[in-house]
Homo-oligomer: A and B are copies of this chain.
Amino acid sequence: MSERIARVALSRLSEPGDVRLAALVEGLGANKVFDLLRDEQDVAGVYTDVATRLRDLDPERDLGGAEAKGIRFVCPEDEEWPSALTDLDRAEPLQGRGGVPLGLWAKGPMRLDEASGRSVALVGSRSATTYGAGVSSDLAAHVAANGLCVISGAAFGIDQAAHRGALAVKGRTLAVLACGVDRAYPAAHRNLLDYIADTGLVVSELPPGCSPTRLRFLSRNRVIAALAQGTVVVEAAVRSGALNTANWTTRMNRVLMGVPGPVTSAPSQGVHELIRTRDAALVTRGEDVLELLAPAGVAVAPDRRGADHPRDSLDPRAQQVLEAVPVASGAGVESIARTSGLGTAEVTTTLARLKARGFVEESGAEWRVADLATR
């Protein structure tokens, strides 16, 4: 049996994120591990767990059936296997799950390594606010228009908005599922998932036909974090699954980012906690994300600043004189000097300069502000 077929078999036998199995495969190779299990050797207790599933196992038929549905199995021996996933072997397990996936079942025209190479995960609450969904979609559109692949989990709320934002600009997007890629979860996202599979990529650790479970969502989150260069949490209540993805992002030393929101909004509380206590970088727009993911010096986000006022070009002492010039009735040099707290000679010279630049006007021995708008 080839390594590939052995990996397909183990993928069907095990629950994703089984650290014992990942360690065995890393040490012995998939083929050897599968032989041991078929011989009912209970290495690391794995046999006992998978015994009932061993009975009707047929990996060749599994693979053939998947291929008939346009689904391929991508594993470490394939060219499109992204090196980013291999980093999972060094990340500490979380809630007992972890390890490099045995392979990913994939549907769609995009190459997995290309999707992962320049990418960002956008994750967050299923119960997103209009605000959160809008920000997710805008961020996704911006980074996708700049060539990044938007990775998310195809759930309601933030995930959906992220995929749609990327699709809206004909950008790249990748959905990572907690069930087989031939299934639609949630069912309402059938069309969205079909569209992503037509233009981008839908992947899962789980073989076709599998249903999602809570534990599978937790394992799935590590794949999202591992595939992406960084993860943005858009909205997440304090118990949101998105915080699990954030945890994996930190474990993998990838860039963790969070979008702030109103402190009065429950779906923003988890994000604020990430920024406050987990050193997540605060991001407010696509440029910030591009800057944080770019190599040093590339894609520096433009400064946010308001329009300059003409008076900002004046030195502080000239501003001090200008401020002492009345708007309505005029005033003499002596009075302006007293008001400004500057000497009469300096005030006289400065008033002439200000007049030349159109800030003040003179009428007899009296001065007043020329144009209120320039103050």
Q: Is A259 part of the binding interface, using a Cβ–Cβ cutoff of 8 Å?
A: yes
Chain B residues, CB < 8 A from A135: 263-264
Q: Is the CB of A284 within 8 A of B306?
A: no
Chain B residues, CB < 8 A from A275: 260, 275, 282
Name the interface residues of A311-370: CB closer than 8 Å to any CB of B: 316, 319-320, 323-324, 334, 337-338, 340-346
Q: How far is the CA of A48 from the CA of B349 in the complex (A)?
A: 14
Q: How far is the CA of A124 from the CA of B234 in the complex (A)?
A: 25
By DSSP majority rule, is chain A's interface helix, strand, loop, or mixed? helix
Chain B residues, CB < 8 A from A15: 320, 340-341
- Number of copies of this kind of chain in the complex: 2
Q: How far is the CA of A351 from the CA of B365 in the complex (A)?
A: 99
A333 to chain B, nearest CB (A): 9
Residue ID in chain B nearest A51 by CB atoms: B343
A109 to chain B, nearest CB (A): 32
Q: Is the CB of B304 within 8 A of A284?
A: no
Name the interface residues of A110-147: CB closer than 8 Å to any CB of B: 131, 134-135
A293 to chain B, nearest CB (A): 15
A184 to chain B, nearest CB (A): 20
Given contacts A134-B264, A238-B305, contact A52 B316 (CB under 8 A): no
Q: Is the CB of A344 within 8 A of B282?
A: no
Residue ID in chain B nearest A96 by CB atoms: B316
Give the number of residues in A that approach B within 8 Å (Cβ atoms): 58
Name the interface residues of A273-330: CB closer than 8 Å to any CB of B: 273, 275-276, 281-285, 288, 304-306, 316, 319-320, 323-324
Q: Is A53 part of the binding interface, using a Cβ–Cβ cutoff of 8 Å?
A: yes
Residue ID in chain B nearest A276 by CB atoms: B282
Q: Is A43 part of the binding interface, using a Cβ–Cβ cutoff of 8 Å?
A: no
Given contacts A48-B345, A343-B49, contact A284 B263 (CB under 8 A): yes
Q: Is the CB of B213 within 8 A of A337?
A: no
Chain B residues, CB < 8 A from A190: none
Q: How far is the CA of A188 from the CA of B263 in the complex (A)?
A: 29
Q: Select one of B237, B269, B281, B324 contacting A284, CB under 8 A.
A: B269
Counting chain B CB atoms within 10 Å of each CB, the highest count among A14, A276, A285, A337 belongs to A276
Q: Is A27 part of the binding interface, using a Cβ–Cβ cutoff of 8 Å?
A: no
Residue ID in chain B nearest A139 by CB atoms: B263
Q: Is A50 part of the binding interface, using a Cβ–Cβ cutoff of 8 Å?
A: yes
Chain B residues, CB < 8 A from A191: none
List 15 other contacts, CB 8 Å, given A15-B341, A237-B306, A276-B284. Answer: A15-B320, A48-B342, A48-B343, A49-B342, A51-B344, A52-B344, A97-B316, A131-B262, A213-B320, A260-B262, A260-B272, A260-B275, A261-B261, A272-B282, A273-B304
14 of the cross-chain contacts (CB-CB < 8 Å) are A15-B341, A49-B342, A49-B346, A51-B343, A52-B337, A52-B343, A238-B304, A239-B306, A259-B263, A260-B282, A261-B261, A263-B284, A269-B304, A273-B304
